[in-house]
């Protein structure tokens, strides 16, 4: 297929109305640019943050980053969303192995629409195609992120991407990777199979190995058993509970990067003491018995947002 020559900088300029771009060289997905009036007060100052994620765990992190920018418009600039397209048969995102397998086609579409609209209504582009290609690399260079945060994403990342940001690229993983638990596409199921009653969320640097980057910190303990000492029947509700702390941890990481940036330093963050950052009332909620109702797992806003 002949490569299409485009000017990414021109493409990313906001138009009067939302526009959709499908590049000939990308097998699936699309780039959607919001209309210029979608969020006219959008901040373009501060730490340049690119978010890569999908489904409800990804949406939670996305909303936390948006709230942070709205409260502190000079601190961070959320650049764009890169997400999965779970209803596209061509998309190589391991739908049959990952969290997507719990949802019907309609539910997948709704989740995709929710996170896409979350980005576009905030005045930032949404890309849902392959990332190991020239087209995405042009987008990456145009966005020029200083940090990339990833949560619930189905594609492997190459070194062009994870080596790009000055302050590193990080992934949120819902199991205790330091204990070699839950590596791969079914972390909660593996934790259950091992017979554990609690788990942790791991934040780690991204490299070419799935879930193999250096660990920068872990969440407090999270109870994954119900009050009768059994696992909830619906594993999906455990994903909702375990991932509920992802927004908190993301903002703690952002604060650590901002502190480093304020000192004129660059480079990845090696360690964040998430257990110290997260207050006792949140730890208590995480240790409460698991239920079959994912709505019960909505945590209060991060301390910096109250």
Q: How far is CA 195 from CA 72, 97, 204, 213, in A?
A: 42, 21, 24, 25
127-185 pLDDT, tens per residue?
A: 999 999 999 999 999 999 999 999 999 999 999 999 999 999 999 999 999 999 999 99
Query: Has residue 302 been placed in a domain?
Result: no
With CA atoms as reference, report the closest residue to 179 among 205, 223, 149, 215: 215
pTM value?
0.96
- How would you classify the pairing of strands 147-151 and 47-53? parallel
- Residue 177 has, within 13 A of its CA and on its CB side, a CA count of 24
Residue 121: count of CB within 10 angstroms of its CB: 12
Instruction: Give the end of a domain, one of 143, 165, 187.
Output: 165
Residues 41 and 150 in one domain: yes
In the chain, % helix, strand, coil (3-state, to 5) comes to 35, 15, 50
**Residues 154 and 186 placed together within one structural domain of the fold:** no
Residue 305 domain flag:
no
Nearest by Cα to 276 from 235, 217, 228:
217
- Dig out the tokens for 17 from the structure: 């109305």
Do residue 179 and residue 158 come from a single domain? Answer: no
The answer as to whether 234 is a domain residue is yes
17 and 147 in a single domain? The answer is yes
Query: Would you call 23 helix, strand, or coil by DSSP?
Result: coil
Mean pLDDT of 103-110: 96
Question: Do both 133 and 230 map to the same domain?
Answer: no
* Residue span of the structural domain in which 142 resides: 7-165
CATH number of the domain to which 106 belongs = 3.40.50
CA-to-CA separations, 42 to 18, 77, 125, 149, 180, in angstroms, rounded:
16, 8, 12, 20, 41
The rounded percent of the chain whose pLDDT value lies above 90 is 90
The predicted-structure confidence for 15-58, as pLDDT tens digits, reads as follows 899 999 999 889 999 999 999 899 998 988 999 999 999 999 99
Q: Report pLDDT digits (tens) over 246-281.
A: 999 999 999 999 999 999 999 999 999 999 999 999
Same-domain check for residues 245 and 129? no
Q: What is the mean pLDDT of residues 220-239?
A: 94
């Amino acid at each position: 297929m002949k490569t299409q020559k485009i000017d990414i900088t021109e493409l990313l300029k906001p138009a009067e109305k939302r526009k959709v771009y499908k590049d000939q060289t990308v097998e699936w997905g699309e780039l959607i640019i919001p209309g210029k009036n979608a969020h006219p007060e959008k901040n373009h100052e501060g730490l340049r943050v690119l978010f890569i994620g999908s489904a409800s765990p990804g949406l939670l992190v996305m909303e936390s980053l948006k709230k942070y920018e709205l409260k502190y418009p000079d601190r961070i600039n959320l650049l764009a969303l890169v997400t999965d397209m779970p209803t596209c048969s061509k998309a190589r995102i391991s739908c049959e192995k990952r969290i997507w397998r719990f949802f019907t086609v309609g539910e997948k579409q709704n989740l995709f629409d929710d996170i896409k609209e979350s980005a576009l209504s905030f005045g930032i582009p949404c890309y849902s195609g392959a990332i190991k290609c020239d087209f995405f690399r042009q987008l990456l260079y145009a966005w020029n992120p200083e940090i990339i945060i990833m949560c619930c994403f189905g594609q492997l990342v190459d070194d062009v991407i994870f080596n790009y940001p000055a302050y590193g690229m990080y992934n949120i993983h819902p199991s205790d990777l330091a204990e070699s638990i839950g590596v791969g596409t079914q972390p909660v199921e593996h934790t259950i199979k091992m017979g554990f009653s609690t788990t942790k969320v791991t934040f780690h640097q991204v490299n070419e190995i799935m879930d193999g980057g250096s660990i920068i910190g872990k969440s407090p303990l999270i109870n994954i058993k119900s009050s009768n000492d059994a696992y909830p029947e619906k594993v999906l509700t455990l994903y909702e509970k375990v991932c509920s702390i992802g927004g908190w941890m993301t903002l703690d990481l952002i604060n650590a990067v901002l502190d480093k940036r304020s000192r004129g330093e660059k480079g990845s963050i090696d360690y964040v003491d998430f257990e110290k950052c997260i207050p006792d009332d949140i730890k208590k909620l995480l240790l409460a018995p698991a239920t079959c109702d994912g709505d019960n797992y909505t945590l209060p806003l991060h301390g910096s947002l109250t």
